């Protein structure tokens, strides 16, 4: 069939797309920076037509009318962001605990998807829509969903990838056309002097030819700037999330990928999220390669990379070396993402290293200082990384390498990089736990 004719036969309005939804349906709507804005608004307008509909999404970066409405829409999140955290506290959203590398398998084996609604770039001459900033799991979603709806956003970048970065017209059931809307951009978070100190400790331990993974937050900006102004060379990229720091390092001539074991010369990631400048940099850039998250975050793939370095942040670390990056007690903050996978893979890699970075303490609104290195986690706190996995813990006061250390040695090393005002209290806590002598 003629592509243009087939395309026109599948075009519907956002309102007609929303009309496809039935009572009890389970929907998957985009991920991270790409979100079907027009469909979201159209379905929210039908709120009085339902008793219960499930909406699944992860790393919501756009305002969502469906999330705002709440019931009858139950929001299920693969990874919580501020709007979703507030909905969880209201009781209209739930978190899905995941190991991000396993998410495509969850989709294939464990979850139901009645309708997938996905923003895509405009169709090319061969009949393909590009997923744009995220190829982590959408092709599996499209294969498993009963109905596939694409929302065409002409302003969405086209990002190079493997064969899983596009979907063909024949595999799409309906098309919602739009005039285009800006892709959600993250505000550039300014980093502090504390972040700069932490970044300096990390960067001095990175070697030429290393392959890098960075997590989310202000710290990657500090690390990226420190690397950009360093003498490091021939670095590579293999990362879950591609952020502005990688662009900055590339433009500074630090990224070549020449020493990578896999995907030599390509910067590999599962999804991109950052500034508008980053999205322009990614558009049609052949050096970048989006790939499914069960490849990118596979600890075996990570372990293949020469001098793999993972750099992630945490909320708290306890004196055993367990890491919490998701909750504070029962209060949900974030998600596990690929932190565990990259910690495992980087340590298994030849000359690999894994860093967990955090400020030593925080000061509350009453001026009281609280240590982020703690004797133990509060009740209900999720352990993101178990103690044997943790390698380097970094604060503005130094670096603790926990591999091979006893419980006493771990406590001693971690207290040494805690805030000086908190160390005596931590020693008392360690004694109470029976790990101090």
Q: Where are the domains of the chain?
A: 3-177, 193-433
CB-count burial class (<10 Å; 0-12, 13-18, 19+) for 234: middle
- Homologous superfamily assigned to 3-177: Glutaconate Coenzyme A-transferase (3.40.1080.10)
- Lowest pLDDT segment from 64-78, 303-317, 334-348, 406-420: 334-348
In the block, tokens 């020693």 appear at: 427
Closest by alpha carbon to 96, among 144, 46, 60? 60
What is the rounded distance in angstroms from the CA atom of residue 396 to the CA atom of residue 419?
9
Domain pair 3-177 / 193-433, same fold: yes
Q: Which residue has the tokens 């398998």?
A: 105
CA 86 to chain centre: 19
Beta-sheet pairing, 316-318 with 373-374: parallel
Q: How many residues does the chain have?
A: 437
Does 11 or 329 have the greater pLDDT score?
A: 11
- Determine the Cα–Cα distance for residues 346 and 178; give it in Å rounded to an integer: 42
Q: Is 15 a catalytic residue?
A: no
CA–CA distance, 331 with 211 (Å, rounded to integer):
34
Whether the full predicted model's pTM is greater than 0.85, yes or no, is: yes
CATH class of 193-433: alpha beta
Range name among 1-15, 182-196, 254-268, 382-396 with the lowest pLDDT average: 182-196
Q: How confident is the model at residue 68 (pLDDT cuts 50, 70, 90)?
A: very high
Annotated binding residues for CoA, written as ranges, equal 215-219, 315, 338
Query: Could you say which of 240, 273, 322, 396 is catalytic?
Result: 240
Average pLDDT of the chain to the nearest whole number = 94
pLDDT in tens, 163-209: 789 999 999 999 999 999 999 998 877 889 999 999 999 999 999 99
Confidence of residue 259 (pLDDT cuts 50, 70, 90): very high
Model confidence at 1, pLDDT cuts 50, 70, 90, reads low
In whole angstroms, give the CA distance from residue 122 to residue 110. Answer: 31
pLDDT digits (tens, 9 = 90+) for 389-409: 999 999 999 999 999 999 999
Tens of pLDDT, residues 83-119: 888 998 899 999 898 899 999 999 999 999 999 999 9
């Amino acid at each position: 069939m003629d592509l243009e004719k087939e395309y026109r036969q599948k075009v519907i309005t956002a309102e007609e797309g929303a009309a496809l939804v039935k009572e009890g349906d389970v929907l998957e709507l985009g991920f991270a920076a790409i979100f079907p804005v027009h469909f979201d608004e159209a379905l929210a307008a039908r709120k009085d037509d339902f008793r219960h509909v499930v909406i699944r999404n992860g790393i919501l970066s756009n305002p969502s009318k469906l999330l705002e409405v709440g019931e009858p829409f139950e929001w299920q999140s693969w990874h919580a962001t501020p709007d979703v955290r507030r909905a969880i506290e209201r009781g209209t959203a739930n978190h899905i605990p995941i190991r991000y590398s396993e998410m495509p398998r969850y989709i294939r084996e464990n979850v139901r998807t009645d309708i997938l609604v996905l923003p895509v770039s405009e169709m090319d001459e061969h009949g393909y829509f590009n997923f744009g900033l995220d190829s982590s799991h959408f092709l599996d979603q499209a294969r498993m969903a009963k109905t596939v709806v694409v929302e065409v956003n002409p302003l969405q970048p086209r990002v190079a990838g493997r064969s899983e970065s596009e979907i063909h017209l024949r595999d799409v059931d309906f098309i919602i056309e739009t005039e285009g809307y800006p892709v959600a951009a993250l505000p550039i978070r300014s980093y502090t002097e504390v972040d700069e100190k932490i970044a300096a400790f990390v960067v001095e331990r990175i070697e030429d030819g290393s392959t890098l993974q960075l997590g989310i937050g202000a710290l990657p900006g500090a690390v990226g700037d420190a690397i950009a102004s360093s003498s490091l060379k021939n670095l590579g990229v293999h990362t879950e999330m591609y952020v502005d720091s990688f662009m900055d390092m590339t433009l500074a001539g630090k990224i070549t990928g020449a020493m990578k074991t896999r995907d030599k010369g390509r910067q590999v990631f599962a999804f991109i999220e950052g500034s508008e400048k980053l999205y322009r940099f990614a558009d049609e850039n052949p050096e970048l390669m989006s790939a499914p998250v069960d490849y990118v975050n596979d600890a075996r793939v990570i372990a293949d990379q020469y001098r793999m370095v993972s750099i992630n942040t945490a909320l708290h670390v306890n004196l055993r070396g367990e890491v919490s990056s998701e909750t504070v007690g029962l209060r949900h903050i974030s998600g596990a993402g690929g932190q565990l996978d990259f910690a495992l893979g980087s340590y298994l890699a030849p000359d690999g290293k894994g860093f967990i970075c955090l400020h030593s303490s925080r000061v509350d609104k009453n001026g009281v200082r609280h240590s982020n290195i703690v004797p133990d986690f509060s009740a209900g706190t999720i352990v993101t990384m178990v103690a044997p996995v943790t390698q380097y813990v970094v604060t503005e006061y130094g670096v603790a390498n926990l591999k091979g250390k006893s419980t006493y040695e771990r406590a001693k090393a971690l207290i040494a990089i805690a805030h000086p005002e908190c160390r005596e209290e931590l020693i008392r806590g360690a004694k109470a736990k029976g790990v101090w002598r």
